[in-house]
């Protein structure tokens, strides 16, 4: 069945770039998403990319999509303490959305 | 504020009991999704309703059931509770279940089974 996988934990120094990676299996995915979950809150959409795009940039966020390898990444430039959260990769197509288990981003001082 | 409300915020109960979690979607959203989040399993999709009808089923146990009412609010019923059911339960809503599927999440209900 379809699956979305991502590493569970990432530590980054404040001011450095964070790169969170994700792989998915469903080749019919139409949209891919990054959601952010801050402590004590629900998930919130951070950004998304349409499957015919390779890259999307939005201020400090860069999303890269390699459709051939079914690999999605989220780069956060100049990581700040407020970026500390769990980041979920998700993919949708055919009326279904599948989330990864989430990557917990820890910011080191 | 996502516009999705969930009640109660916290629930503490004993093994073997039954509880009902409630969700009100954003105004205008027809789809409601239920998720379970635990430390070891991550975010697990349970079930989706669209305009009152069940649309998709995920890893939902037989002890769990849900429904969506005519006013589009939804309830998740958990019965014969076990210690392992302790988790954060999220409801999310979207306009429809189409290909672009931005979901708006509620703040969650934290269930503790003792």
CA distance A88 to A43: 8
**What is chain A's Cα-based Rg?**
13
Please indicate if any CB of chain B lies within 8 Å of the CB of A28: no
- B chain contacts of residue A97, beta-carbon cutoff 8 Å: 33, 45, 101, 103
pLDDT of residue B46: 94
pLDDT of residue B101: 78
A residues 38-57 near B, CB within 8 Å?
A: 40-45, 48
- The Cβ of residue B109 has, within 10 Å, a number of other Cβ atoms equal to 21
Mean local confidence (pLDDT), A41-45: 92
Cβ contact B95:B25 at 8 Å: no
**Which tens digit of pLDDT belongs to each residue from A57-85?**
999 999 999 999 999 999 999 999 999 99
Quick one: DSSP state of residue A59?
Answer: T
Q: Do B45 and A99 touch (CB under 8 A)?
A: yes
CA distance B26 to B2: 8
Q: How many cross-chain Cβ pairs, A to B, lie less than 8 Å apart?
A: 56
The C-alpha of A17 sits at a distance from chain B's nearest C-alpha, in angstroms, of: 25
**pLDDT class for B97, splitting at 50, 70, 90?**
low
Say whether pLDDT at A35 is over 80.
yes
Residue A1 vs residues A4, A25, B42, B51: alpha-carbon distances, Å = 10, 8, 18, 26
Cβ burial, residue B46 (10 Å; 0-12/13-18/19+):
buried
- Which of A42, A48, A92 is closest, CB to CB, to B106? A42
Cβ contact B21:B75 at 8 Å: yes
A32: helix, strand or coil: strand
Cβ contact A105:A87 at 8 Å: yes
Say whether pLDDT at A95 is over 70.
no
Q: Report cis status (omega within 30 of 0) of the bond before B8.
A: yes
Task: Give how far the C-alpha of residue B88 lies from the chain's centroid of Cα atoms, to the nearest Å.
Answer: 9
**Which tens digit of pLDDT belongs to each residue from B19-64?**
999 999 999 999 999 999 987 778 888 999 999 999 989 889 999 9
The C-alpha of B79 sits at a distance from chain A's nearest C-alpha, in angstroms, of: 24
Tokens of A93: 């197509």
Kindly report the length of chain B: 114
């Amino acid at each position: 069945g379809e699956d979305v996988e991502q590493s569970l934990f990432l530590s980054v120094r404040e001011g450095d770039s964070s790169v969170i990676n994700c792989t998915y299996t469903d080749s019919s995915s139409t949209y891919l998403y990054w959601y952010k979950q801050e402590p004590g809150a629900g998930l919130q959409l951070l950004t998304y990319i349409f499957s015919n795009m390779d890259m999307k940039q939005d201020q400090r966020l860069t999303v890269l999509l390699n459709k051939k390898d079914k690999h999605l990444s989220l780069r956060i430039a100049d990581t700040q303490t407020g970026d500390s959260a769990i980041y979920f990769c998700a993919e949708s197509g055919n009326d279904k959305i599948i989330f990864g288990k989430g990557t917990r981003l820890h910011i080191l001082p | 504020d996502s516009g999705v409300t969930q009640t109660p915020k916290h629930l503490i109960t004993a093994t073997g009991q039954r509880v009902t979690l409630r969700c009100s979607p954003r105004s205008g959203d027809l789809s409601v999704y239920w998720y379970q989040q635990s430390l070891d399993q991550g975010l697990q999709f349970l079930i989706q309703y669209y305009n009152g009808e069940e649309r998709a089923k995920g890893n939902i146990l037989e002890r769990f059931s849900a429904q969506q009412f005519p006013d589009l609010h939804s309830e998740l019923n958990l019965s014969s509770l076990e210690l392992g059911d302790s988790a954060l339960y999220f409801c999310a809503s979207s306009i429809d279940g189409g290909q672009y599927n931005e979901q708006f999440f509620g703040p969650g209900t934290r269930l503790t089974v003792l």
